[in-house]
Structure 1
Amino acid sequence: MKIFSYLPHNEISRNAAVCKKWRQIAYDTRLWNSVSLRPEVSGLHVYSIEHLMSLISVRFAASLRYIELPMELITHPVLHELANKCPNLTHILLDFSTAMQLHDFNDMQAFPTKLRTMCICLSEVIFMEGFMRKIYNFINGLEVLHLIGTYEKADEEEEEIYEVINVHKLKSATPNLKVVNLYGINFVDDSHIEAFSSNCIQLECLAVNFCAKVTGSSLKILLSRCKKLKCLLMNQCSLQNDQVMAAEWEKSAIQELDITATDLSAESILDLLTRIPSIRWLSAGQLDAFTDSVLKMWGENANLKNLVALDLEMCDNLSEEALYKFIGRFGHNLKGIVLSGIPTVTDSLIANVMPVLKNLRILKMGMPLDCSNRMQSKVHVDQLTDTVANYGKYMERLELSWDNDTLRFSDKSQKGIDTLRVRCPNLKCLVLCDGKYYEIVKANFERADRVTVVRTSKNSTTSNVYLLSHYIELIFN
């Protein structure tokens, strides 16, 4: 039972064919408390509704706490069975993203009532109101809501945008929400944010990443109504300077903020950051207006005693000197810092500031392949790994994604890699550009039976999201 608990469900199912003993263990409900029935995610295929109904009754039962359902399995008999046979179900994901036609839910009379977290992957064209109208009476206990849009599927050509789910009605049915994540939904605008703020006074975290129609006109109302709001994530929203400056940030409880790629001016960035009473997590990457003077003024006029995470990725108007002064002053509390995409960040800067960054757990440096020609100097990775090993005893995630033309290493690199591996025992992820140095490091860690640590930047990346206070609740998919 203990061994099987570490295996994915598709392997457990295959093991059930070995013998009667293994079959008894494999079908124990305790191994099936968290189940994904989306084939592309888990490899589990359920070919008929009748088979799923049997599984819910016999295999899942009272042990089930989390389930993911693809479009073809979201029917009212299945939802009735989940409501009746799975009293401890608290997390559900309903994937409508590939839907071209919705099932008939006119006869639906029951839905799981103890849900704490619900994630709905929206379709591009299917209107959800027929389904949502049937579940409004059952979801008033929700604390975490994810609505996932089709941002990654969007074409560059302008197409007609459909409001496939009625957010204004949904917010009335969910008064106890604490975390709302509206990810990449092309129709979400400030009126939808205002709707949530009018009914969800318990709101602590709001994420509207990749919702391009959000301009910030609802920020003033949002901050005045939701006094408990601590986390606000607005990556790649179309924020307007005047709307951001009109919000009363000084009266808010905001501690975590993401304004990455929002094209704000230097004036509005400085006005915003200096008015927040106490910030602990900031992501302000891809902002041309985030310059040395903004960084200096922010450090002089804001309360940064609680700052633990800073992301300045692709802010290439920052100089090495300005970063050195800022980190030297505030780096002792930092647990995560992202400085990738900045040409002036090399091994020399890290060698100078690393003694201050003694609590660091996440460090990201490097240059995207399409921007690698902007590097004016080479990076001596042996010196860099030695510095990180000496001062980063709490390091958990490290990314050094410079390409092979920028990295310089010697025949004695193995010694530095050994030192890094031994002195950073908490290291879970080391991301490098694919190439000769990556192969050397990967082989070193594999010989020490740490086969999952070293990864290539083609498949992995590092960020400060792990340090968000609501990180667990914000995970979806």
Structure 2
Amino acid sequence: MFSGNKSIAEYVRDIRRTSQAAKGAYSGDYTSSFRITRLPEKLILRIFSFLTHTELCTIARVCKQWRRLAYDEELWQSLKLRPEMGGLSVPTVEDFLNLINQRSGEGLRYLEISSDLITIPVLEELGNKCTNLRYLTLDFSNAMQLHDFNELMAFPGSLSYLCICLSDVIFMEGLMRKIYTSLSSLEVLHLIGTFEMAAEEEEEIYEVINISKIRAHTPNLRVINLFGISFVDDSHVELLATNCLQLECIALNYCLNVKGATFPMLISNCKKLKTLLLCHCSLEDQYIMSVPWEDSTICELDISSTELSSECLEYFLSRIPGFAYLAAAHTDFFNDTVLKHLVDANKFQELKALDLSFCPALTEAAVVSFLSIHGKNLKGLMLNGNPVLAEYFWTTVIPFLPNIQICVLGSPDGWFFKYNTRVHVDQILHAFAQNCPNLTALEIQWDQDTLRFSDKSRKFIDKLRYALFGHFPVCMRAHSIGLLGR
């Protein structure tokens, strides 16, 4: 497919060097025989699709052919215009309108914009001309006031995905009442709160967006994410359960006022619900134990950082039909008894991903026993933060993980756990290289004072380079490895 036996990654690298040279930023020896004129334009467009829009704007200065191809409408169907998130910077509304008209046109399908660009002319332009727009992100997180939208006459009406990043000081009703009627096609809705930016003590909590009206206009909603919204509580879960009957996923992570009181109605009404994410919610035993979990279709569950008792965990988890994904990280009462009870009840037959990081009540023997039975099916595993799971444990269980793709291990604060011996990481990495051919990402969190490398580390690094990155028939897919303590 590629002339000169080059991969597409090598072509992208050469193009980036060329663009750096055009800016005078690249001063290294560059002797590549790469000739862009030898490639068909269809292939050049494919290569350009791997570049960011900032890089496309730079390489457009190289020659007329590159300028024409870099500004091809096909490469501008997805626009990320949030500079603080690594997107392209568009300083004015006029510049944005020109960008839409000259680059994207009707082909625009994906757009992220910040509050400075969320104005009547922009939204009306999107509604009237960008008829293929399906994915839209409106970021108000850093805004201090909302524009006046009383005269808004158009809004994209074929969206399947909408993400709104909220602000604690902006009431969204001025905009929302103008766009409710355009939300009937929505299947995925993300409302991102300000939990990560909130102070420890808030004076007052305001309901800055009306979830009741949203659920009344989104009958086709399949996925809703209410991450970190301070005012969301059980009453809002009840509202969703009464109208959004097609829901397959509800994410309530970091909604601190959700206790689970209305979950029985949620399970009863939303028969298609498969995914329930409750990380850092204030779940209470009495409510969770009263839910008819055996009647649900839930197979993906996150109860990380909750304070449910071991009795509650054992009782309600064993009533869920089965798990494809389970996260119980930072759960003090998830112990050997709970794990064994779930294994004996055959709840892990379809398990693909598991997160039991920072579960201090789990012992090495219990985890080894579990992985010896179900490890062969796992594609994702997180067991970091448990000091008893050290070198011997990992060299023992890695052969049980032939299909693992993502793995996180180690404890970042060795001084706190008072390790008596150092962890010989060479042996662990060698075991991954020999037993896990599908590994794509590996993160090792032991700190520098805990990690120990072999006296033959140089030889080992050479072996690792060959094993993980392409010259050895193992771990051919690895693209990320992190040694946080090195």
What TM-score do you get using the length of structure 1 for normalisation?
0.88
Q: Among the aligned pairs, what percent are the same residue?
A: 49
Matched ranges for 1:89-238 at <5 A: 89-238=133-282
1:391: Cα distance to partner? Answer: 1.0
| Structure-1 residue corresponding to 2:25 | none
Matched ranges for 1:415-426 at <5 A: 415=460, 416-418=463-465, 420-421=467-468, 422=472, 423-426=474-477
Q: Which amino acid aligns with 1:61?
A: G
Whole-angstrom CA distance in 1 between matches of 2:184 and 2:440: 38
| Structure-2 residue corresponding to 1:440 | none
The residue matched to 1:88 in structure 2 has which SS?
A: coil
Whole-angstrom CA distance in 2 between matches of 1:180 and 1:370: 39
Q: Which amino acid aligns with 1:89?
A: L
The residue matched to 2:301 in structure 1 has which SS?
A: strand
Whole-angstrom CA distance in 2 between matches of 1:334 and 1:17: 48
CA distances 1:412-470 after superposition (whole Å, capped 9, x unpaired): 233352454132111121111143xxxxxxxxxxxxxxxxxxxxxxxxxxxxxxxxxxx
| Structure-2 residue corresponding to 1:407 | 451
4+ residue segments displaced more than 4 Å? none
1:214: Cα distance to partner? Answer: 0.7
1:321 pairs with one of 351, 357, 365: 365
Return closer, same or farther for 1:13/1:418 CA change in 2, 3 Å cut-off.
closer
The residue matched to 2:137 in structure 1 has which SS?
A: strand
2:288 pairs with one of 224, 244, 248: 244
1:302: Cα distance to partner? Answer: 4.1
1:50: Cα distance to partner? Answer: 2.1
2:399 corresponds to 1:355: yes
The residue matched to 1:282 in structure 2 has which SS?
A: strand
| Structure-2 residue corresponding to 1:427 | 478
2:379 corresponds to 1:332: no
Does the aligned pair in 2 maintain the 1:10–1:42 contact within 8 Å? Answer: no
The farther-off stretch of 176-185 and 374-383 is 374-383
CA distances 1:309-349 after superposition (whole Å, capped 9, x unpaired): 11110001211111111111222212221110001101211
1:19: Cα distance to partner? Answer: 4.1
CA distances 1:79-106 after superposition (whole Å, capped 9, x unpaired): 1111121111000000011111111111
1:280: Cα distance to partner? Answer: 1.1
1:394 pairs with one of 438, 446, 450: 438
Whole-angstrom CA distance in 1 between matches of 2:248 and 2:266: 11
Return closer, same or farther for 1:398/1:156 CA change in 2, 3 Å cut-off.
same
2:119 pairs with one of 58, 75, 78: 75
Whole-angstrom CA distance in 2 between matches of 1:22 and 1:396: 34
Which of these two proteins has the greater Rg computed from alpha carbons? 2
Does the aligned pair in 1 maintain the 2:390–2:423 contact within 8 Å? Answer: yes
Does the aligned pair in 2 maintain the 1:388–1:420 contact within 8 Å? Answer: no
Whole-angstrom CA distance in 1 between matches of 2:69 and 2:438: 39
Return closer, same or farther for 1:294/1:419 CA change in 2, 3 Å cut-off.
farther
Return closer, same or farther for 1:126/1:371 CA change in 2, 3 Å cut-off.
farther
CA distances 1:50-105 after superposition (whole Å, capped 9, x unpaired): 22222222221122100111101111111111112111100000001111111111
CA distances 1:155-177 after superposition (whole Å, capped 9, x unpaired): 11232111100001111111101
The answer to which structure, 1 or 2, has the higher relative contact order (CA under 8 A, 6+ apart) is 1
RMSD, aligned α-carbons: 1.5
Whole-angstrom CA distance in 2 between matches of 1:153 and 1:330: 39
CA distances 1:378-405 after superposition (whole Å, capped 9, x unpaired): 2111111121111111111111111122
Q: Which amino acid aligns with 1:430?
A: I
2:85 corresponds to 1:41: yes
1:372: Cα distance to partner? Answer: 4.6
The residue matched to 1:158 in structure 2 has which SS?
A: coil
1:354: Cα distance to partner? Answer: 2.0
CA distances 1:119-169 after superposition (whole Å, capped 9, x unpaired): 000011100011000001111000000000111101112321111000011
1:308: Cα distance to partner? Answer: 1.5
| Long gaps (5+) in structure 2 | 1-44
The residue matched to 2:226 in structure 1 has which SS?
A: strand
What TM-score do you get using the length of structure 2 for normalisation?
0.86
| Long gaps (5+) in structure 1 | 436-477
Q: How many residues end up aligned between the 2 structures?
A: 435
Does the aligned pair in 1 maintain the 2:414–2:449 contact within 8 Å? Answer: no
1:371: Cα distance to partner? Answer: 6.0
Whole-angstrom CA distance in 1 between matches of 2:96 and 2:389: 54
1:52 pairs with one of 70, 93, 96: 96
